[in-house]
Amino acid sequence: MSDADVRVLRDALVAAARRLDALGLNRGTAGNVSVRCALPGHDGYLITPSGMPPAEVHAPDIVAMPIGGEAPLDPSARRPSSEWRFHRDVYRARPDAGAIVHTHSPFATTLACLGRGIPSFHYMVARAGGRDIRCAAYATFGTQALSDAAVAAIEGRRACLLAHHGMIALGRDLADALALAAEVEGLAEVYWRALAVGEPGCLPDDEMDRVAAQFRAYGQRPAGG
């Protein structure tokens, strides 16, 4: 990937972080965003820096990380998001992941604080890649234990909740991951509202499988696809 291409991705990450803030999916310094990219001599990814509000983040603040390592490629770079481990490990486990969005969005986080995933109460749950959206076991933020729990919860899925923490969504690119994060937050809100009335019924597994198959052919193919 050329230096110019990397600069475009850095700008796109800044825009994505600010978009999440504008949509209310993250607030303050919560959450983080990354995108997979080929860096000089490395399979790597770019990730937002630790502890910086999106309005203060600019392209040079974005941190380049190797998928095979633990330290920024540039020793003088900003510190990466404290959650860099699960970004790295999801990229390792999921070749289909081109970008990852992590949010502390209100409704998804509310369910996560109750230890609830999102069951098949609505057919759109299949947009996240399966019959449900799991909730990963709790572990301290920034730890390998949290990364391990997240990778397990997102297996065979494109999104999961993190107990007492937030949500992860992955996509083929930044736009896809952002759209899914917004979709999951919307589903979390509807589920939360349904629970205020009673426990909603769920669609059977065979129907969710049919819906998932429909979604695999849904929408427009990327250019050249």
Known catalytic residues?
Answer: 83
- Tell me the three state secondary structure of residue 222: coil
Record the tokens describing residue 71, joined without a space: 């330290």
Record the tokens describing residue 23, joined without a space: 């949509």
Question: What is the C-alpha separation between 94 and 79, in angstroms, rounded?
Answer: 24
Closest CA to 106 of 21, 185, 178, 162: 185
Locate the DSSP E strands across the chain. 32-39, 42-47, 63-66, 99-103, 135-136, 159-162, 166-171
> Do the Cβ atoms of 137 and 163 come closer than 8 Å?
yes
- Tell me the three state secondary structure of residue 201: coil
Which DSSP helix (H) or strand (E) runs through 206? helix 205-216
Q: Please, what's the largest Cα pairwise distance for the chain?
A: 55
